[in-house]
Amino acid sequence: MSGRRTAILAAALAALLLYFALFEGFSVDRPPPAWERDEKILRCDGGGPSEIEVSGPAGRVAGKREGERWVSEAPGKYVAAAFADLAEALCRLPIIDRIEGPSRLADFGLEPPGAELSVAIGGRTVALLVGGSTPADNLMYLKLGDRPEVLKVGVEFQSDVDKVIASARAEGSRS
């Protein structure tokens, strides 16, 4: 290839690059990842839960959001942080799968449930049953009170529920 032909090709390439830089730009709008698009455990369009009550075998503990802070009568330094994490998980974690019309809730650890949540959000109260984990221990079962199906969500949700339940145990040991 001659030097002249190489210079012409280089100039054409530079002109194309300049065109894209000026008129098209190099940014590409990528679609959000699936976990951001999918339906979440709760729709938190209005700012998230305002109250959460968790009941389990160890007792009951309730938290209430006051502004941006969570408060609870349960003892411990980290109870408010546990409620904040649980509220955030309810709004952030996607529903991964649905099991339509399960024959027996006990098969999913939902009868009796490991924990029951009552969540005040957007002027309504939502009941949530927390079940067991899947055989692979990577997902867990939930049941929203107003929905007929059993839901699968990431097992990360269990740790957020456990943190709140641990404060209920601390509260129960004081009485």
Determine the Cα–Cα distance for residues 59 and 86; give it in Å rounded to an integer. 17
Same-domain pairing of 24 and 107: no
Q: How many CA atoms lie within 13 A of 95 on its CB side?
A: 15
Structure letter (DSSP) for residue 101:
S
Same-domain pairing of 42 and 22: no
Which CATH number do you get for residue 161? Answer: 3.30.1490
pLDDT in tens, 54-93: 998 878 899 999 988 999 888 777 888 999 999 999 999 9
Same-domain pairing of 76 and 144: yes
pLDDT of residue 173: 44
pLDDT of residue 12: 93
The domain tally of the chain equals 2
Instruction: Give residue 23's domain range.
Output: 1-30
Total-model pTM: 0.75
Determine the Cα–Cα distance for residues 140 and 128; give it in Å rounded to an integer. 13
Same-domain pairing of 139 and 157: yes
pLDDT of residue 153: 95
